[in-house]
Structure 1
Amino acid sequence: MNYLLHSVFYRTVLLLSGLLFLISGLTRAQTTTVTGTIIDGATNQPLPFANIVFVGTTIGTTSNDRGTYTLTGNGNYDKLAISFLGYKSITKSITPGKSQQVTVRLEPDAQQLNEVVIRKGKQERYRNKNNPAVELIRNVISHKEQNQIGHYAYAAYEEYDKLQFSLSSLSTKVSDRKIFQKYKFLLNNRDTTTLPGKSLLPVYLEEKVSDAYYRKDPQKEKVIIKAKKRVDFGQYFDSNGLSLYLNRMYSKVDIYSNSIFLMTNQFLSPIATNAPLFYQYYLADTLTIGKNKLIGLNFVPRNGTDMLFEGKMYVTLDSNYAVQKINLTVNPKINLNWVRDLQIRLQFEQNTDGKYYLNKSDMLADFGLSKGGKGGGIFGQRTLSYRNYKTDEAHIDSFYDGQPQVVEADADKKPDQFWLVSRHDSLSAAESKIYTNIDSLKRMPSFRRTMEALTFLLAGYKSFGPFEMGPANTFYSFNPVEGFRLRLGGRTTPELSKRYYAETYAAYGFKDQRWKYFLSGTYSINNKTIYQFPQNYVRASFQRDTKIPGQELQFVQEDNFLLSFKRGVNDKWLYNDTWRIDYVHEFENHFSYNIGFKNWQQSPAGALQFKQPEENDSAPSHTLTTTEFSVEARWAPNEQFYQGKIYRVPIVGRYPVYTLRFTAGVKGLLNSTYNYQNLTGSISKRFYLSQLGYTNVAVQGGYIFGQVPFPLLTIHRANQTYAYQLNSYNLMNFLEFVSDHYASVNIDHSFNGFFFNKIPLFKKLKWREAISFKALYGGLRSQNDPQQNPSLYEFPTNASGVLTTYTLNKTPYIEASAGVANVLKFFRIDLVKRLNYLDHPNVSQWGIRARATFDF
C-alpha cells in the first residue's frame, strides 16, 4: 500500500477507533505470560505440536516445530496443563500476572502409544523423499480439482457473511469513571467469550445473506445479495468504502487456491501445487467421525519468517483426499505488521454426492501496537457460513448476463424478523446491541464534536453541515514565484444537495502579489453524490493559478505544504487561466468515458519565457491560448474504491486498467492559435508472484499530430521533490524532456521481505526489499523542433544561455532504484540511480527519496 492506502487506513480503522480509544481510557489488564520448551522425556528432543492451556480456561496454544511456545492471557492464571497424544499429561503451577519460563518434559504413556496409528519420529532429519506425510499431501494436491465447486457444470448455495470489529483489552473500570458515565451503555456491552482472556467492545458489524451461482462452461458466476445490514456512522465515514476496505483486509479464504490474499499480503496455501518446497508436514493422529476416517496432518514453514501458515488439517482417507477441517495461524516471527494474532478455521461438510464442501469459515485477527497480545488493540472477525448446496440445477444463459453481483432493491430494508430466521448463526449478546448502540452514540453532541475534530485533523476538512472548509494542508505553502502563499477554500456537501455541488478557493502570493482562485459547479445527473461510484455528472469550472510544467500529481494537491520543498533549480512556472466543461459517465461494469472542452491560456512565470528565435530578450513574452475538445475511455474491470473526504482512491487489484484519450485543438476557436491532435493510451496491472511478492507494471504511449510549440508537447512527468513518486521520473528535472511521440514502461516490484527475512539483522527489523525500473523512449519530429522552425517558441535556457529542455533522440531515458520498505512500519526509502543524460545541467546521478506507506 502506498501513501494513498496509508490515508485510507487512517480514515477507516484509526478514525473509527480513535474516538473510542480516547473516551475509553485504554488500560492494560494484568497479564500472565508463559514461555518455554516441551521436551520428549525419552529422547530429550523438542516435541512439536504439544497442547498448552491455562487450567480452567480455553486459552491455549501449541508448541512449534522446535518445541517452543508462548502463551499469554489477561488474568490471574496459576496452573498450566500440557498434553500430547501418546504422552502423560501434566499440570504445572505458575505465578499469576507475571512473565515466566516453564520448560516441560513429557513422558511417553505406553497405553496411549498402543492407540496411536501414525506418529512421525522427531530424531530424523526432515526429508520429502519417502515421507508418508508428504505422500499424503501430494495426494491432497492432486485431488484439488475434484474437491472444488468448479468441478461441477452447475453449482449454487446460500452464503451468510458476518464481519465484526471490536476494541480489545479495555479495562472494565473505565465505565465507572464519572467522565464516561454518559457512554456506559456502550462501554458495558462487553464480549468475553469470543477471544478467551480478553474483553472485547464491539463497535462495527455488517451482515449479508446471498445466493451464489456458478456455471463451468463458459465459466460464469452470479451473486444475488438478498439482504444486507451494517453499522452506520453517518457523515463521518463513507459506509460503502469502509465496508469494501474491511472486506478486502479480511478476504475470503480458499484453501484450494495456490495463494491466499490476506491483510494486503499473499500467503502460500499449505496445499498449493508447490507447497512441499516451502512447508514441512508431520503425521499426527487419526480421527473417526461417523463412518469417515481422517488423518491429522501438522504443517509448519521451512522458514518461519516467510509468508506461510502453520497449523493442522484433517484429511479424508477415501478416494477424495479432501480437507475436512483445517486450522491456520502464523508464526510470530513473520514479517506482518500490527497483527498480534491470526487464526483461520475452515470446516467442510460431506454432501449427498460424497464430496466435501466448505461449511464454515472463521477468521480472527487481533491488531495492536504492542507485541504478545498486551495492551489495547483492535480485534476483527469475519464468519462465512454456507448451506443449501445444489450441483444439478442449470439456469438459462441470460440468467448470468449483466453484473456478476446484484443487490436486490429491498436488500437493506429487511425487517428484524427476516434476520432472525435467515442468519445461519445467531448474534452474540454483545453483537445484538451494536446497531442500536452506535445509532445512540452518533446522536450524542460530544461524539459529533470529537469526530469533526478528528476529521479535520486526518482528512483536512472542517464541516459546517452543507459546506466544508479545506483541505488544511493547502492553507500555507511557498514557491519561488509566489513566495509565501496563503489559500482558503471549501466545497458544498450532499447535505446541501445531491444534485448540485460547488467548490472554490482563493489564494494569494506575497511575492508576485497576485490573487489566484478557482470556482466550479457540478450537476449530478443520476442524483447521487459525485464522490462515489458510479459517477454521472456535468461540471463547469474556471481556474486562475500557477503550475509547474511537467508536474503531474495524483490524489495530491499541487500546493500541498510538503511539496513546497524541492531540490535543484525550480524557477520555470506558468500562470494559467483555464475554462473547462466536463461530462463524466461511469457504468456498473467499470467502463467509463469523459467528454471535455477546455480553453487554456498559458503565460510564462519566473524564468520561463515564450519567445521566438528572432526576438530579443527585452521583448515581452507571449501568451499561448488553445481551445481543446477531448474524449477519454477507461475500462477497469472489477475495480474497487475507497472514498475519502478529499479523493476517491482506487484499490489496486489483480485486474488491468486500460485508458485511451484523444484531444483535438481547434485553431481560431476562442482565440486558439494551433490545430493539433494528441492520442495517448496506457495499460497498468499488478502481478502477484506468491512468495516473491508482487509487481506493478504500467505501459504508456502517445503521439501528437500537427505542429505545436513546446508548451503543447508532451512534457514528461518529472519530480524535484524529496518524495518518491510512483508515476514520475524521480531524478528528472521539471521541463527537462519534451516529445511529440513516446512510449514508456514503469516496473515496481516489492519482494515483501522474501530475502531480508533470511538475514538475521534485517529479519529482526522486518524491513522489506523493493526495486523499480523506469524507461522512457521518445522523440521530436522536425516540424516541432524550434531549431528547424523559427515560428515556434525556443526551448527554455538557464541564466547562462544553456539549454535546459531536450528531446530524447534515439536513447531512452532510464532510471532505476532499490528500496527498503517497512522502515518504522510507515516508510519506504529508495536509492535512485539515473543511468543516462548525465551531461544536462543541474541533474543528479543519485538520489535518496522516501514516501509514506502502510502495509500489513
Structure 2
Amino acid sequence: MLKHCFLFLYVFASFLLQAQVSHLEAQSATKDSLKRKAFIQHLGNGYFPTKYFNFDLRYLVKYNQYEALRTGLGGITNDALSKSFKINGYLVYGFGDDKFKYSVGGAYRVAEKTNTWISVSYTDDLQETGSTKFLTDKRFFQFFEPRLLNINLFHEHLTKSLEIEHQFTPKLISETEFSVINIDPTYNYTYIGENRNYSEYNISSSKFALQWSPFSTFNNTDHGLKEVKKGFPKFTIQYTKSFKDVFKSDFNFSKVDFRTIYQFGNEKTNHTQIIVVAGIANGDIPLSHLYHAYPNNINKETVLQRFSVAGINSFETMFFNEFFSDKFTTLQIKHYFKPFNISQSHKPQMVLITRYALGSMTNPQRHQNISFNTLDKGYTETGFELNKLLFGFGLSFTYRYGAYHLPDIEDNIALKFTFNVTL
C-alpha cells in the first residue's frame, strides 16, 4: 500500500513538474511572440527600437532631384528612459548639394489624460516650395512617400518653433505651432513687395490645426495615436497667420487649409475613396507658402524618361512647378476593386482613379524669375493602378485631358510603377 502511495505521489509530482515546465515554455513562447509582434509594429511605425532610443528609419536613405542621395540618422527617446519627456533629432547629408541638415528638439508632457505635450525644436533643412503640411499629420506615420523621389524645387529654412499638442478626445486632436523662420530659396526667385523686393526673407507665424475623426476608433501607443478601426468621413482644418515686424518678419498673410476623406464600401472587397483638399491664402505671401496642387511628373521629354514612382494622392501627369495658386481645390476619386485571389501571398488589385484641380492667383506678377501657370480652367486626369503585382510593386497609367491637354499626346501620358507595402 505504501509503495502504491509513493508511486502515486511520484507520478503526480512528475505530472505537476511537466505541467510547470510546459507552462513556462508556453509563457516564454508567448513573450517571444509578443516581442516579435512589438518589434514588427515598431518597424511599421518607422522605428528600430533599442533600450532607451528608437532610431527613425525614415532618415536612413532618401532621394530627391535636388539633393540626390540623402542619408543620415535620427530618432527619439522612448518610454524606458522617460514617459514625461522626449528628446529627438536627426542629422542627414545630401550628396547633390553637399550639405548637412539637422534638427534637435525636446518635448515635455504636461497632462497625461489629454496627452498634452509642449515641445521646442531647432531645424536647419529643406522644404518643398508650395507644399502644405497639416500639423496633425505627423502623428500618423506613412511608411513610404514615393513622391519625394521626384521633387526638385526646395527652399532652405532655419526654423525655431514652439508646439503644443493636445487631445480633446482620441477622435479630436489639435496642434498649435509658433515659429520664426528664415527662408532662402535654392532657385532664382524674387518676390516683389510693396516697399522692397525679397530674394531671402523671414516669416514669424502661428498655426492651429484640428483633426476630427468622429467615426474612427483609436488607441494610444508609444508613438502617438494608432487608428485601430477606420471610420469616415474624416476632417482636418488648419489656420496659419504670419505677423509682419514680429521677430523681423517681412510678411503679413493668412491661410486656411481644409481636407476631408470619405470612404464607403468594404475595404476587403470593392470600395471607393473620395478626398477633397482646399486652401485659400490672403495678403503678401511668397511662393514658398502658396499651393502647387501635388504634381508628380518629372520635366523630361519622353514617357520612359519620366517613368518613376507614382504618388499616393498626387497628380501624376502634372509637371513639377507647372502650376501655383493662392486659392485652390482638388478632388480625387479612387475606386478599389476586390483583390485578385491568385494565391495566398499574391493578390494584385485594380484601382480606377480620377483627379480634378481648380485654382487661381491674385498677383502672379509679384513672383519673378520663375514661370508657372494657374488652374483657372480646371485640370483633369484619369487612369488606373494595378498594385501589388510583385513584392509590393505595381504599375499605373494616367492620362491628362480637358482644358490643359497638351499638343503632344505623349506629354499627356504618365506611366509609372507603384509601391504598396504594410507591416
Q: TM-score, normalised by structure 1?
A: 0.40
Stretches of structure 2 that go unaligned for 5 or more consecutive residues are 1-17, 299-307
Is the CA contact (8 Å cut-off) linking 2:191 and 2:198 kept in structure 1?
no
Residues 1:695 and 2:272 aligned together: yes
Q: What secondary structure is seen at the aligned counterpart in 2 of 1:711?
A: helix
Measure the CA separation in 2 of the matches of 1:513 and 1:825: 33
**Corresponding letter in the other structure for 2:211:** R
Q: Give 2:361's aligned residue.
A: 780
Q: Give 2:374's aligned residue.
A: 807
Q: What secondary structure is seen at the aligned counterpart in 2 of 1:512?
A: coil
| Mapping 1:153-552, distance limit 5 Å | 440=28, 461-471=47-57, 473-527=58-112, 535-550=115-130
Q: Which residue of the other structure, out of 728, 738, 742, is the alignment partner of 2:324?
A: 738
| Mapping 1:434-833, distance limit 5 Å | 440=28, 461-471=47-57, 473-527=58-112, 535-550=115-130, 555-556=141-142, 565-566=149-150, 571-588=152-169, 590-605=171-186, 608-611=187-190, 622-641=199-218, 648-650=225-227, 653-688=230-265, 693-720=270-297, 722-752=308-338, 767-781=348-362, 784-786=363-365, 792-794=366-368, 796=370, 803=371, 805-809=372-376, 811-824=377-390, 826-833=392-399
Query: In the TM superposition, what is the alpha-carbon distance from 1:824 to its structure 2 partner?
Result: 4.4
**Corresponding letter in the other structure for 2:279:** G
Q: Give 2:401's aligned residue.
A: 835
**Corresponding letter in the other structure for 2:317:** L
Q: What secondary structure is seen at the aligned counterpart in 1 of 2:288?
A: helix
Q: What secondary structure is seen at the aligned counterpart in 2 of 1:684?
A: strand
| Mapping 1:93-112, distance limit 5 Å | none
Q: 1:720 to 1:465 in 2, by over 3 A?
A: farther
Measure the CA separation in 2 of the matches of 1:698 and 1:740: 20
Structure whose alpha-carbon radius of gyration is higher: 1
Q: How high is the sequence identity, in percent, across the aligned residues?
A: 20
Measure the CA separation in 1 of the matches of 2:211 and 2:267: 29
Query: In the TM superposition, what is the alpha-carbon distance from 1:636 to its structure 2 partner?
Result: 0.8
Query: In the TM superposition, what is the alpha-carbon distance from 1:843 to its structure 2 partner?
Result: 5.5
Is the CA contact (8 Å cut-off) linking 1:720 and 1:730 kept in structure 2?
yes
Aligned length: 384
Query: In the TM superposition, what is the alpha-carbon distance from 1:440 to its structure 2 partner?
Result: 3.9
Q: 1:645 to 1:806 in 2, by over 3 A?
A: farther
Give CA deviations for 1:761-797 in whole Å, capped at 9, x if unaligned.
Answer: 99xx86443211111111112xx221xxxxx33152x
Is the CA contact (8 Å cut-off) linking 2:397 and 2:414 kept in structure 1?
yes
Give CA deviations for 1:411-433 in whole Å, capped at 9, x if unaligned.
Answer: xxxxxxxxxxxxxxxxxxxxxx5
Is the CA contact (8 Å cut-off) linking 1:452 and 1:462 kept in structure 2?
no
More strand by share: 2
Give CA deviations for 1:358-404 in whole Å, capped at 9, x if unaligned.
Answer: xxxxxxxxxxxxxxxxxxxxxxxxxxxxxxxxxxxxxxxxxxxxxxx
**Corresponding letter in the other structure for 1:628:** S
Query: In the TM superposition, what is the alpha-carbon distance from 1:699 to its structure 2 partner?
Result: 1.8
Measure the CA separation in 2 of the matches of 1:468 and 1:492: 6
Is the CA contact (8 Å cut-off) linking 1:470 and 1:490 kept in structure 2?
yes
Give CA deviations for 1:298-343 in whole Å, capped at 9, x if unaligned.
Answer: xxxxxxxxxxxxxxxxxxxxxxxxxxxxxxxxxxxxxxxxxxxxxx
Q: 1:692 to 1:452 in 2, by over 3 A?
A: closer
Measure the CA separation in 2 of the matches of 1:700 and 1:587: 24
Measure the CA separation in 1 of the matches of 2:228 and 2:25: 31
Query: In the TM superposition, what is the alpha-carbon distance from 1:452 to its structure 2 partner?
Result: 9.4
Is the CA contact (8 Å cut-off) linking 1:520 and 1:542 kept in structure 2?
yes
Is the CA contact (8 Å cut-off) linking 1:682 and 1:701 kept in structure 2?
yes
Relative CO higher for 1 or 2, CA cutoff 8 Å, sep ≥ 6?
A: 2
Measure the CA separation in 2 of the matches of 1:510 and 1:461: 24
Q: 1:830 to 1:478 in 2, by over 3 A?
A: closer
Q: CA RMSD in A?
A: 4.0
Is the CA contact (8 Å cut-off) linking 1:653 and 1:686 kept in structure 2?
no
Measure the CA separation in 1 of the matches of 2:210 and 2:311: 25
**Corresponding letter in the other structure for 2:399:** K
Is the CA contact (8 Å cut-off) linking 1:550 and 1:718 kept in structure 2?
no
**Corresponding letter in the other structure for 2:415:** G
Is the CA contact (8 Å cut-off) linking 1:593 and 1:632 kept in structure 2?
yes
Give CA deviations for 1:42-71 in whole Å, capped at 9, x if unaligned.
Answer: xxxxxxxxxxxxxxxxxxxxxxxxxxxxxx
Is the CA contact (8 Å cut-off) linking 1:654 and 1:688 kept in structure 2?
no
**Corresponding letter in the other structure for 1:847:** L
Query: In the TM superposition, what is the alpha-carbon distance from 1:486 to its structure 2 partner?
Result: 3.0
Q: 1:818 to 1:557 in 2, by over 3 A?
A: closer
Q: 1:644 to 1:481 in 2, by over 3 A?
A: farther
Query: In the TM superposition, what is the alpha-carbon distance from 1:826 to its structure 2 partner?
Result: 3.9
Query: In the TM superposition, what is the alpha-carbon distance from 1:503 to its structure 2 partner?
Result: 0.4
Q: TM-score, normalised by structure 2?
A: 0.76
Measure the CA separation in 2 of the matches of 1:771 and 1:621: 44
Is the CA contact (8 Å cut-off) linking 1:652 and 1:686 kept in structure 2?
no
